[in-house]
Amino acid sequence: MPDTLFKQDGVKSLSNDKGTDRAEELFDIVKNKFNWFDIDQYRGASEPYAHEILNEEVIRCCANIEYVRKAVDKDVYVAHRIFGMDSGTSYLYTTDMMLDDKPSWAHEDMFIISETNHYEEYKRPCRPEMLSFKEYFFVASLEVLSTLNLNLENLNDDTLFSALVSNNEVISYRRYTNFDDASQGVLANWQVIYTLAARKARRMDLVREMYAKGFA
C-alpha cells in the first residue's frame, strides 16, 4: 500500500503498511473515534489530511478485499474506507475500472483508468457530501500534467493522478506515487490489474488503447 498522496495545496500524506508502528498508532486514533473499527479489515492507514471536498480531516484506510467483496457483493480489486475525524462519519469506496465514455471534463490526452464508487453503510453515520463526488484515476502526458498545479518532482512508473469530480466539475487534482521499489501494491502493478479487469469485462480494446498511447 505505501503510496504518497500529493495534494494541490502542497500537503503530502504517506500511507503506512499494517504492522508498522505508525500504522498501529493511526489505527488506534481511528478506533478511539469509531468504536466499531475492526483492525482485521485493513491493510494500512494514511497520515491525516484535510479532504478537498469534505473540508475536514480524514484518515484513509486500505481495506481487505475479501471483506469488501462480501460487503458490496461484486468483484473488487481496490477498496478503502474514509474516516471523517471531525464529524465522526465514514464511507466505504471501491476503485473500479472505468468503462463509460470519457467524461467531458477530461482532457483529450488523459487515459482514465478507474473511478470510485461510494457506499453508505448500515448504522454507520455518513455525510451526504461523502456520496456526492467521485475520484477518477488517470495517466497523461507531461504536457497535460504540467497544467494541473501539482508537484511533479521525482515522478516514476508507479505514479497515478486523480481528479475529484462533483457534478461534472473538477474540484481538485491529486498525485499518488509509490516510492518503495520492493512494493507489490496497486501502483506498482496497475497495468496488470487493469488488464485483468479489462479481460473480465471483455474490454481488451481499452488495453490496446493504453498501449497505443504509451502508458504501459
Query: How confident is the model at residue 100, as a pLDDT?
Result: 86
Cell reading at 161: 493522478
Query: How confident is the model at residue 189, as a pLDDT?
Result: 74
- φ, ψ for residue 3, nearest 5 deg: -95, 160
In DSSP terms, 12 is beta-bridged to 6
Query: How confident is the model at residue 136, as a pLDDT?
Result: 97
Residue 36: CA count within 13 A, CB half-sphere = 10
Kind plus residue range of the DSSP H or E element containing 69:
helix 65-72
For the residues 115-142, what does the mean pLDDT come to? 96
Q: Which of 76, 111, 70 is nearest to 93 (CA)?
A: 76
pLDDT tens-digit series, residues 169-197: 999 999 998 866 545 556 667 888 889 88
What global pTM score does this model have? 0.93
Strand pairing report for 159-166 and 134-139: antiparallel
Could you tell me how many helices (H) and strands (E) the chain has, helices first? 5, 11
- Please, which pLDDT band fits residue 95 given cuts at 50, 70 and 90? very high
Query: How confident is the model at residue 179, as a pLDDT?
Result: 64
Average pLDDT along the chain: 92
CA 110 to chain centre: 17
Residues 162 and 137 sit within 8 Å (Cβ to Cβ): yes
Length of the chain: 216
